A and B are shown apart, each in its own frame.
Chain A
Amino acid sequence: MLGYYVDLAVRSLKRSPGLTVLMILAIGFGVGASMTSYSVFRAVSGDPIPWKSSHLYVPQIDVWGPKGHQDGSNNNDPPDAMDYTDAVALMRDHRAKLQSAMYRVSPSIVPPDASKHPINVGGHAVYSEFFPMVDAPFKYGSGWSAAEDSQRAAVVVLNGDINQKLFGGQNSVGKTVNIDGKDYRVVGVLDNWNPKPVFFDVVNTGGFTTGHEDVFIPFQRAIDVGMPNDGNTNCSEIPKGSGFVGLQQSSCVWIAYMAELDDKAAVTAYHDYLDAYFRDQKQAGRFSWPLNNRLRDLPAWLDSEHVVPSDTKVSLLVALGLLVVCLVNTAGLLLAKFLRRSSEIGVRRALGAPRLAIYTQFLVEAAIVGLTGGALGLLLTWGGVHGVSWVLPKEISTLARLDVGLLALTLLVAVVATMLAGLYPTFRASRVQPALQLKSN
């Protein structure tokens, strides 16, 4: 029977080809244009990793207590970085899928060519899971392993610029680089990776910085060789010990931390873990104030650090507005078409078709319009997202990626909206006595 309805629907749609094409085009353009613009808006809104930012979380632990935020300017927010004790404890417990503590370093590199002066570079000391967590793009090689983390191995990941400078852009994996007088083996080279803002460490970079990320070295290795922190250090009291070791023993905060949590359950579990950690420490006598942890996802974190403008949502509203206009348009056309067919419904009803059959027939017709329009929209979105690179600068167009979940939802909305539009006239027509409709003709 369904095959017959499909046949009927196609016939009916063919009877007014102009209108059919209009409806399909409206849905297609609505889905395509709203999804394309949404993905571009997301790219320019300052979220440097839009396809993943909702899975990246920044934990905050209140190591200072109320005295640390007396000014009350920041909603009693705990410090926005971590002290060494907690960062290392969280890494040891390893409760997230991927996580890394990190701090900014600024070592000097001695070029292999002895006639050249040392180069001052910027970078971060991170854990091995940092690279998969932030989707760092490798040109050669890869990050180091978890084993190398714990062995405090002398390995380094170079960024494209510095690799160009030291090795002329060649594949330098396996070669040796002299950093602060010690030899490090290159394990990977990044493809000129310079996310703006530097989302993994906004505290120490202010989000945007002209400084480059040149090198990444293992966190524990950097601590072992005493590579000092080049980022901000905030203290609520003067450290007892002196120097870098004193800083590690103090409650000063200077370490950024990020964790990847892929679903709600993982987020809840991690939040519980953080709270349990705080209570343990409180019991051990480190803290004397109530629990005041935070676990923000990256957009919320960037927002709380005032890094990203609030454009994203405004633009989403614009894209949404376009989609709604297109759907209303299609619904209007479909209604006009269907409402005119009460006589056809009358004939079918008089011949003995039950209401359900009428509904099925018209829903099939509406669904064909919705699905075809949706498919066109899918095509246009794909073309649009790839086509923006023709109009927009490269660094923006490469960020414009599709959000598959959202696209699926849009398609679903498009199809459901058209089917609803098809339902109403059917409902009205099928309620009228068949005889009346036959007579009226």
Chain B
Amino acid sequence: MEIRPILASLRKHRIPTLLIVLQIALACAVLCNAVFMIGKRVSDMHLPNAMDEAGTVVVNVQGTDEKLVAADIPRNLAALRGIAGAQAVSVVHTMPLSRNNWGWSFGLTPDAPVSDPNNLNVTLYFAGENADKAMGLQLRQGRFFNAEEYADSKVDGGAVPSTHVMVVTETLAKKLWPGQSALGKTVYSKPYYFTVIGIVADVLRPYTFALDHDRSYYDIFLPVAPDAVLHEYILRGAPADRERIAREAVAKLQQLNPQAVVKGQTYQSIRDQYFANSQSMVWILVLVCLVMLAVTAFGIVGLTSFWVSQRRRQIGIRRAVGATRGDILRYFRTENFLLSSAGVLIGMVLAFGINLYLMQHYELERMPWYYLPGGALTLWLIGQLAVLGPATRAASVPPVIATQST
């Protein structure tokens, strides 16, 4: 296909040509970055969380008499165990993705104080008896806590429980002791210290970290005897039963603790709430992308149609002197291909620049390279699809037009 006549014709319509190229470039740049942001959020939302998310129910009990917890908690747990379908029952102080974090920082040397800048900040999960079963944690090495360890560990308004054993996640174990077995190793935060007795599959923290997914898994599980900090009752059952279990658990706990504020929900709803903003953001970004692609496509349709109607006579003459329908079709498709190519080339540079700018000014990661050709390909395809209609119409211009006067 000869492209020189196309270029000559485009040169005659310099400004509209420039604008359509600019539009394709902008669309390509915004598309790449928007899709990248969508992908980032979706991957955040799908961070694996090795617990039984589908079958767990969480009931929050607030405002009970702190002096009576030692008796109240076992009584409440016993009542919850009586609920049909509840396979395991426990009490903890917070759950993954609940935004309620109990953080502490630890070092690897016995004299590391809590404020040491080299310490690693982790989430403490205070586990009541059977918490591993109620949450559906997956043990990878070692063991979970025994009855004695639970009974010996008190918080009593302090910062950290009095136990000396802990269970860590796989990612934390790898982070603290790379290439070694974590079992039997100890972390310190003077005067506290905890020794690893078990390793579980990765469970998320109450907060996730978008920029460093590994950090979202720095958890330490500590055994805790019935204590005032434990007010999230968890029950595990079949996913189909969870709504009913939640209802019955709330009713039972409210009945046992009439003065307390009792709120129950499935773990799924905690997760949904945590990601509600991301979810909304994703939907809107998808909407933005769709509107933008549609507008770009319609812009191409509009401009090409207009050019076709302006050039009916020239097309007629070309047809009269022997051009086939295919030639005409090819002409407009090649023209569009040239415009799109120029657009996406500028667009990819622009997309890269925007990404650099966002990285510098906001906490955003570098866009993987394949987003650029991906966006370019999308716009090429859209351009070709959009030009198909007007080009077909151009191809159907009869040669006889050439003989008519305007």
Q: What residues of chain A have their CB less than 8 Å away from a CB belonging to chain B? A: 16, 18-19, 22-23, 25-26, 29-30, 33-34, 36-37, 40-41, 43-44, 46, 111, 116-121, 161, 165, 208, 210, 212, 309-311, 313-315, 317-319, 321-322, 324-326, 328-329, 331-333, 335-337, 339-340, 388, 391-393, 395-396, 424-425
Contacts and interface: CB of A to CB of B under 8 A. Distances in A.
B314 interface: no
B15 A23 contact: no
Contact of B259 (A18, A25, A119): A119
A52 B281 CA distance: 22
The 5 A-B residue pairs with the shortest CB-CB distance in the complex, in nearest-first order: A332-B19, A117-B259, A321-B30, A329-B299, A44-B277
Nearest to B12: A339
Contacts of B258: 116-117
Nearest to A196: B99
A25 B63 CA distance: 56
Interface in B182-231: none
Nearest to B281: A44
Contacts of A120: 62-63
Interface stretch (B241-249, B305-313, B317-325): B305-313
Nearest to A333: B302
A interface majority secondary structure = helix
Given A19-B306, A119-B63, A26 B362 contact: no
B interface majority secondary structure = helix
Nearest to B18: A332
Nearest to A330: B299
Contacts of B306: 16, 19, 333, 336-337, 340
Contact of B288 (A33, A117, A328, A336): A33
Contact of B13 (A18, A165, A326, A336): A336
B284 interface: yes
A199 to B, nearest CB: 16
A396 to B, nearest CB: 5
Contacts of A208: 99
B291 interface: yes
B373 interface: no
A119 B34 CA distance: 49
Interface residues of B, number: 55
22 contacts: A16-B309, A26-B298, A30-B295, A33-B288, A37-B287, A44-B277, A116-B259, A117-B65, A119-B63, A119-B259, A210-B98, A212-B261, A313-B362, A318-B34, A322-B292, A328-B23, A340-B306, A340-B310, A392-B279, A392-B280, A393-B276, A396-B277
A13 to B, nearest CB: 13
B294 interface: yes
B281 A22 contact: no
Given A310-B363, A328-B23, A40 B295 contact: no
Interface string B139-162: 000000000000000000000000
A322 B288 CA distance: 7
B71 to A, nearest CB: 15
B286 to A, nearest CB: 10
A30 B287 CA distance: 12
Contacts of B62: 120
Nearest to B303: A336
Interface of B: 13, 15-16, 19-20, 22-23, 26-27, 29-30, 33-34, 37, 60, 62-63, 65, 98-100, 258-259, 261, 276-277, 279-281, 283-285, 287-288, 291-292, 294-296, 298-299, 301-303, 305-307, 309-310, 354, 358, 361-364
A326 B295 contact: yes
Contact of A325 (B15, B37, B295, B302): B295
Contact of B16 (A29, A161, A339): A339
Contact of A33 (B26, B287, B296): B287
Contacts of B13: 336, 339
A322 B23 CA distance: 10
B23 A325 contact: yes
Given A19-B305, A325-B30, A37 B292 contact: no
A331 B26 CA distance: 14
B140 to A, nearest CB: 30
Contacts of B60: 210
